[in-house]
Structure 1
Amino acid sequence: EVKLAAESRISFFDSLIKIGQGFQEIFGIFGNAIGDILGLTAVKSGDKRSKVGEYFKTIGDGLTTTKKKLNELSDKISEAKNADGSTIEAVKGAISSANDVFEQLIASLTTLAGVAKEAGDTNIGDANNAGAAVAADKDGVDTIIKSVNAIIEVAKKSEVEISSGDAGNAVNAAANTDAPAALAANAGAGDNSGPKLAEEVSKADSWAMIDKIKDSKTTAGNLNQNNNNDAGTLAVGTPSHANGAKAATNADLAAAVALKAMTKGGKFSAAANEDGAVKAAAVTAVNKVLGILDLIIRKTVAINLDKIREAVKGIQYSETTTESAEASSTQPAATK
């Protein structure tokens, strides 16, 4: 009987070590799957809008792989020897909850990838040289706003802190040489508008940009030069003034640049020799938005994997070979 008890404990430890090793592998899968293309250099000058779609698809694929591996781990846990049933169910419950979260993130990422794919081979910073800017596709911008909201909602439920950032001051469209002209002039933007747009985007708070996208309206029709226009309206509104249109805040302007740069149809206006500056503004804006979405998703994934890790650490031994059932909390080194 003592020998049987010893063997059952060894069997339990073997199972626990395998579970721990399996979990550690999963913990690394998501980062390894998407690590190469994330962060502030997700896109670069000269990239097509479809590259943004590839970015979203790669994160979605990484989550899909993680989800599949978690399901495999759940099956492996079910086969654990001499483990207390209630502690096993706790792990399986944590895996199921995490997979529900990942499923929602995957759905949003798939939708976002579709919007960028539809924008296709158009350059991220596509501009009419010495010509009018063009409104972005309203359906595409609406879809991005809806998907960003869905990702933020999932993250909040996982207790990820979402900052509203510092939105900055209004950016007026007082002349065709001001930054808003490069975004939304109805004729060729004036000299220095491109570099000024790049400067506004460069100083924009990424968290505030995401916050402005989240809360954006997308009012179609002619843009009003002096209204406090939000990001969505600046992106989809029809250029109707040589100076473009006022942005309610710096973050609204930068977020509008990102929205226009990621969706089909949208074009900027570039003065002579300022095409490069406009492209730089667009690329920086897109990278700021993607960088924050990356951070939000990573934090959401990490929190949910940590819940599974804690549940794995709580797996208990159950000695069913003796009349007096004994349970003791034990954890494998691999999950620490």
Structure 2
Amino acid sequence: MKINIKNIRVKSICATLFISLFLSCNNGIVEELQKQKDSIFSISNLRQGFLDIVTSFGDIIAGTLGFNAVTSEDKRSAVGVHFDKVKKGLEDIKGKLDGLAKEIASAPHADTIGVGAVKEAIKKAIDEVISKLIDSVIKLAGVTKADGNIGDNDHSSGALPANEASVKAIIAEVKSIIEVAEQSGVKIEPGSDGAAVKSGDATAPAALAASTVANAKAGSLLADEVAKADPWAMINKIKNSTTNTSVLSGNDKDAGTLATGTKAADNNGAGAKTNADLAAAVALKAMTAGGRFSAAQNEAGAVKGAAVSAVNKVLGVLDEIIRKIVVKKLDKIGEALRGIEYSETVGATSEGKN
């Protein structure tokens, strides 16, 4: 029997070529699968990092919730400390977002359009929102660190006006925060203004601006007015306030005027346009330097309680507005992150993207 050496060689060569081709293709598949695996892990880690930022922000807000920010034992400076905490929280979020942007830029096999969208969303969140909020909160902290007790009051020499420059600063920064909110698509609730509160020695406004000492009923009536005040209406009244250091008299005064006006020539004080104006004025006077209330000796506690309640309502609403603004921007970043896709080459645009 004759063995055809030539045929064996040809078959051997073909088999070798087939095996080499198979192994080469297999290596390419393995390499591609490894790339995809690396990309999936990388993108997954980015998304987990973002979730950590969201969780961190939730913890920050929970730790600085303004509706219980101050107590009747606190000094006015506690308000400034609260704003400092909010500032630190916002700075922490800003730093974490900066870090996330750097991680995204170096993510392997993530498409450039998806990466670009996330980086742009982060940039907008920082430049258009977080940096502006930090600036406002710094200014608010700067004018709410005065000495003296929250709700400081006197039962012999009458009320004293709040420092006008400090009140103006609060009005300006509340306005700025609300503008950022509206530009971010956050709805600012109008709240319920409540009825006008007329002046008189036995009425709530007397505790705010009486010449010597308010009637024995004024302190408890002030506490009642603050208790029923709508926090959202209060913050809107502050935003739209003006200041005036003239002697207070008559009725229909806004929050800023009631807080900064010189005490009345009598013990009647001055009437407020609405319940919300009166409560907002109490908060402004309680938070800032110089402000002092008038109270009968047995009503000092009631006036102090009204002041603490008014301040907490304002701080609580401001914190809620800031929370909603940041959540809106974090949602945008999260949406952009979900759009990142695998790309075959590092830094390439994924197929099907424009």
Which bracket does the TM-score occupy, shorter chain normalised?
Answer: over 0.9
Distance 1:227 1:244 in 2: 9
Contact 2:64 2:86 survives alignment (8 Å): no
Per the alignment, residue 128 of structure 1 pairs with 154
Matches within 5 A, 1:48-197: 48-100=75-127, 101-117=129-145, 119=146, 121-173=147-199, 175-197=200-222
Q: Once the two structures are aligned, what percentage of the paired residues are identical?
A: 51
Q: Name the structure 2 match of 1:21.
A: 48
Mapped partners of 1:79, 1:210: distance in 2 = 44
Find the aligned partners of 2:349 and 2:291 in 1 and give their Cα distance: 69
Kindly indicate whether the alpha-carbon contact (under 8 Å) linking 2:155 and 2:296 is maintained by their aligned counterparts in 1.
Answer: yes
User: Given that residues 111 and 350 in structure 2 are in contact (C-alpha distance below 8 angstroms), is that contact kept between their aligned partners in structure 1?
Assistant: no
Deviation at 1:37, TM superposition (A): 3.2
Cα distance change on mapping 1:227 and 1:192 into 2, 3 Å: closer
Report the structure number with the largest CA radius of gyration. Answer: 2
Does 1:3 pair with 2:43?
no
Whether the 8 Å CA contact 2:241–2:254 is kept in 1: the answer is yes
Does the 8 Å contact 1:228/1:246 carry over to 2?
Answer: yes
Q: Does the alignment pair 1:270 with 2:295?
A: yes
CA contact (8 A) 2:341 2:350 kept: no
How far is 1:71 from its partner? 0.5
What's the secondary structure of 2:343's corresponding residue? strand
Cα deviation 1:56-110 (Å, max 9, x = unaligned): 1101100001000110111000111111101100000000011111000000000
Given the alignment, which residue of 295, 304, 316 partners 1:279?
304
Aligned CA RMSD, in angstroms, stands at 1.5
Q: Deviations over 1:159-183 (max 9, x none)?
A: 000012110111001x311100001
- Say if 2:57 is the partner of 1:33: no
Aligned to 2:276, the other structure's residue is in SS state helix
SS at match of 1:318: coil
C-alpha deviations, 1:204-234, integer Å up to 9, x for none? 010100010000010221112x231000000
SS at 1:273 equivalent: helix
Runs of 4+ in 1 over 6 A off after TM superposition: none
- Give the drift of 1:186: 0.9
Partner of residue 235, structure 2: 210
Shift in CA distance, 188/87, structure 1 to aligned 2, threshold 3 Å: same
What are structure 1's unaligned runs of at least 5 residues?
A: 330-336
Q: Whole-Å Cα distance in 2 between the matches of residues 115 and 17 of structure 1? A: 44
- Stretches of structure 2 that go unaligned for 5 or more consecutive residues are 1-27
Aligned partners of 1:63 and 1:106 also within 8 Å: yes
Q: How far apart in 2 are the matches of 1:271 and 1:25?
A: 52
Structure 2 length as normaliser, TM-score?
A: 0.89
Q: Which residue of 220, 227, 231 corresponds with 2:251?
A: 227
Shift of 1:32: 1.7
Mapped to 2, the partners of 1:32 and 1:199 lie a distance apart of 33
Deviations 1:228-248 (A, max 9, x none): 100000000001231100001
Aligned length: 323
CA apart distance, 1:34: 4.0
Report the alpha carbon displacement of residue 129 of structure 1 after superposing the two structures with TM. 2.0
